[in-house]
Structure 1
Amino acid sequence: MELVQSSKEAIALENKHGAHNYHPLPVVLSKGEGVYMWDVEGKKYYDFLSAYSAVNQGHCHPRIVGAMTEQAQTLTLTSRAFYNDVLGPYEKYVTEYFGFDKVLPMNTGAEAVETAIKIARKWGYEKKGVDENEGKIIVFDQNFHGRTTTIISFSSDQDARRNFGPYTHGFIKIQYNDKEALEEALQLNNIVGVLIEPIQGEAGVNVPNEKFMQNVAKLCKEYNVLFMADEIQTGIGRTGGLLAVCGNCSCQGHCEKQSTYAQPDILILGKAISGGVYPVSAVLANDEVMDVITPGTHGSTFGGNPVAGAVAVAALEVIRDEKLTQNARRLGEIFRERMNKFIATTDLVTLVRGKGLLNAIVINDEPTSSTAWNICVKLKENGLLAKPTHGNIIRFAPPLVMTEEQLHECCDIIENTIRDFESSES
């Protein structure tokens, strides 16, 4: 394969030979290290997206890459037709790390969500006594759980839904962050699960009320319904807790001091569980839930392969050993404090919201406008990469290995870019 010589050439090749299912910023990246990326012309950028929070440990972390290359030279894939000598140790490590009995290993986030849905339905029929094919799952408006046919059936994103029907039934959509709406829906017949993002990332970093996730856990237990937490984007230290349902605790939610932990029945992980170097996802649950999965009921040729197991252990060790959860919590507070001070000086930004290092600013324009996109293009020109979501919102999610000095430099770039943009538009 010939390497491209310029950004223009690379973009032209993608436009000609690739499906147009993404709208990337006009930058072609060729190298990453820590919080930085470089384009093919050699320009250096701060990464403020982290591959949608997959690269929490920073680009090409040597410990994670080392685990991958070492295992890849020994054994890459056996399928699950046979045992391998990495899967068992990985399963022990990840279940103890997050405090569950069992894990079902998969590859991608959407696969993990589909897996959780299957588990919840089967549990509903075999353990709760719901009639087969009648089980319903409560979801929330503005959700994003992936783009498979089942998941888009309850998506609020019309671009993801339009012309892909007929859709899968069995989902009840209610308002996010609304305890009363949830309790009302839980009183309906045949509810087997509640699927929720503890913070809605793709919707623009919508952070619920402080006690909402605890209320979800409490109500699910009261109504004998499985609480399914999609922590694919919010988990693994991103929000200042190991999980977003942990509140601001850096442990796994099993210490006596932790009062904000909302224990899910099913925990869905992906993205940063591999540090962004390999597709790894996982669904965790205790025995009473997971034992509905028996041979032949679910599987994946690549799920639980040796490389994935080695990579995931290394990625989770980095989070713990380098105290990246604590760093995300501290830097997130600094970032929001700076942005709030800046917002008081400008009419172009109306709000900053977030938790840990998952944050967003709301641009003072219509969601259908191109203002946020144009600001992101200017940020790129000034050496910082971010991406709009929902039209007028810009999400900021740098790798958790960022230092305070680097964060302040990035805040300078953001503030100066927006000031210059506002001046040029006035």
Structure 2
Amino acid sequence: MKSPFPLLLSVLLAPSVPAAAQEVAAPAARQPVLMISIDGLMPDAVLQADAHGLKIPVLRSFLAKGSYAREVINANPTVTNPNHTSLVTGVLPLEHGIYNNRPFTPLEQSPGTYRLYAQIKAQTLWGAAKTAGLTTGSIFWPVTDKAADIDFNITSGADEDEAGIARSAAVMIRDHRPQLLTVHFVSLDHRAHETGPFSAEANAALERIDGAIGTLIEAERKAYPDAAILIVSDHGFAPASTQVHLNTAFADAGLLTLSSGPKPVVTSWRATAWYVGAMAMIVVRDPRDHAMVRQVKALLDTLAADPANGIEGIHDRAAIAGLGLPPVDFVVAFRPGYRMGTALAGPLRTPFKGGAHGAFSTRTLRPDMHSAFFAAGPGIAAGRDLGTIDIRQIAPTVAVRLRVALPAAKLPPLRLRGR
């Protein structure tokens, strides 16, 4: 299935940033920053809280007291680790090196996640802050294990204990006063995976996070009355009912060789589907083998021709050029309601219940994957609607507030200053 917009994807991703969304000057003095990530937070959870029955007074207060985006265009793939790394570098996965939640290891069905800070290949906000002589802190932020640039860093423990995270952050703020503190809440993402976005369980998690954020803000304001408070997220969500096990089709076509037995594993491969979620990245072992590339394309086209497989499009290297993805050969994009499964043998499709993200998303394609941004504090305009922004603008916005250099980030910071 040919991409319907092969030459437009890079244009769709790159924002035409209006003047109202650009920072015209740095604040008069260095401003401490508390950046809080709510994994899987969709903009409408706050913008349309009443419609979803959500009681989140702290988050809703940002609409009147601060500036906010209607939507944030994510980095692809729209999963946790690549987008959290874009949030602190201002660049796309091809530049920062965190290509997916898990590295590409075709002989392992469930490889370990990206965890080590040394795996990040671009300068981070923590590194820029350390270079400027600032104190840095972080709690549960992805890909920060053994981070020399983070002075006070919690990477293990009860990451779903919202109140406990808030208490730990409050102690860190009181005792160490980091000028840059990043905090990650993951429980909303976990509940949305299990029961779907805006389920009773997911909403309850967000309401607990809202209370925890209130505690965090109180502690930050006590230490730094002039701090900028940023609420960010990494991706949206969509309910899913069907998973498509692409690698069973690859094995049936002889592109994967499997071991025998009740739990087969891959013993050799010529092409494989790299699991993301609501999309898949297809890797041909030798991309110079043009006959093999054509064979893989033909297989994908056959799968896409059956509507039951839920494939929205097959995008080749030319179509995804400039989007910052790793150098894969194809991207398989699923329609809402579908996600990739990880089985190697058995039926091609199986039922699924819960929520999914990771869909191939641009400014216009799969907006349900778009994430959130809210900011408040001295010097930040109240009630300002920033419209659509790009996730790469957030790190340079923080850098401007901290008055540190982040030269790799090329998009302009957001205009948050009041008039």
- TM-score category (smaller protein): 0.3 to 0.5
Larger helix proportion of the pair:
1
TM-score, scaled relative to structure 1: 0.32
TM-score, scaled relative to structure 2: 0.33
Larger strand proportion of the pair:
2
